[in-house]
Amino acid sequence: MRTRLVRSKLLSSVAEAVGQTPLVRLERAAREAPSVEVYAKLEFANPGGSVKDRAALRMMTRALGDGRLTPDKILIDSTSGNTGVAYSLFGAALGVRVALVMPSNVSKARKDIARAFGTEIIFSDPMEGSDGAIRKARDLVAKDPEKYFYPDQYSNPDNPLAHYFGTAAEILDQVGDRITHFVAGIGTSGTIVGTSRRLHEHTRPIRCVAVEPADPLHGLEGLKHLPSSLVPAIHDGSAYDETMRVTTEDGWDMSDRLAREEAMHVGHSAGAAVFAAIAIAKRLHAEQKGGCVVAIVPDRGDRYFAPMKWEKRYLW
């Protein structure tokens, strides 16, 4: 087995370990489309465990570079998910203080992981959900703009640019001219917009497909149902070619299959993206067109485990 050079490099900070994630062929899960190559880009291999490391690191380093973020300021945001973990990790790596606003009822695991890196947690009203956390973060920044740096991943151009310069360039390096389709879920839309923009500059046509939950109320954490959501300012529908809508059930089932058939225990947004990628591959196979489909796997499934009562008896 060939050893990846990047893993044998000596790094001076964990921040340098972001990117150069593996691309793995899905032989078993995509066996119904044997004439088509289907690949999963394993973003859980980033040090914070998700695709959001790329955007968070670029938003922080660019702001440090041009003075929007200085050592006396506190980075503040309203995310308890993967972006929050990424801010917390790079806050510790880069010596930046981080505060996250979250509804007080988010899981203990979410609070603990952020606190482990020294992040301060500010609680918002649990009845107001994530919108309440956004409002509280914005209020705090408005009251004391000198104290805080608010990266705002939904409108920060460095979010898609992290994928334009990183994710897309790596995919072209890894599969080169063979790639025919790219698939990624939409959360902030940074991944699909940034990666698609770069892939569309390639000399060969590459079809870029966004994945959205089929329903407004869904269980595909990390993904947004755009028709019923506030559309992020960085979203640009002209950057990609098509939207596929995937049900929660299909996303969850594919996550289960990926664990059993490909030894990849992934989150449900990954299940949805791979479900769409395999649907495309089956169509290409049936039309005898061949092809090479790359899907983004944003994170690992264990992020969605919560300790259960019966486990506690054994743990403590």
Which residues bind to ligand PLP, rule: CB under 6 A?
50-52, 81-83, 185-191, 221-223, 267, 269, 298-299
Q: Quick one: 53 exposed, middle or buried, by C-beta within 10 A (0-12, 13-18, 19+)?
A: buried
Q: Quick one: 20 exposed, middle or buried, by C-beta within 10 A (0-12, 13-18, 19+)?
A: middle
CA angle 161, 194, 138 (to 5 degrees): 65
Judged by CB, which is closer to ligand PLP: 51, or 179? Answer: 51
How far apart are the C-alpha atoms of 204 and 45, rounded to whole Å? Answer: 29
> What sign results for the dihedral spanned by CA atoms 20, 21, 27, 30?
negative
In the complex, what is the shortest distance from the CB of residue 151 to ligand PLP, in angstroms, rounded to a whole number?
Answer: 13
Judged by CB, which is closer to ligand PLP: 81, or 166? Answer: 81
In the complex, what is the shortest distance from the CB of residue 130 to ligand PLP, in angstroms, rounded to a whole number?
Answer: 12
| Residue of this chain nearest to ligand PLP (CB atom) | 222
Judged by CB, which is closer to ligand PLP: 271, or 291? Answer: 271
Q: Which of 38, 8, 35 is nearest to 23 (CA)?
A: 38
In the complex, what is the shortest distance from the CB of residue 258 to ligand PLP, in angstroms, rounded to a whole number?
Answer: 14
Beta bridge pairs of residue 306: none
In the complex, what is the shortest distance from the CB of residue 102 to ligand PLP, in angstroms, rounded to a whole number?
Answer: 14
Judged by CB, which is closer to ligand PLP: 91, or 291? Answer: 91
In the complex, what is the shortest distance from the CB of residue 278 to ligand PLP, in angstroms, rounded to a whole number?
Answer: 18
How far apart are the C-alpha atoms of 265 and 282, rounded to whole Å? Answer: 23
Judged by CB, which is closer to ligand PLP: 132, or 222? Answer: 222
How far apart are the C-alpha atoms of 94 and 63, rounded to whole Å? Answer: 12
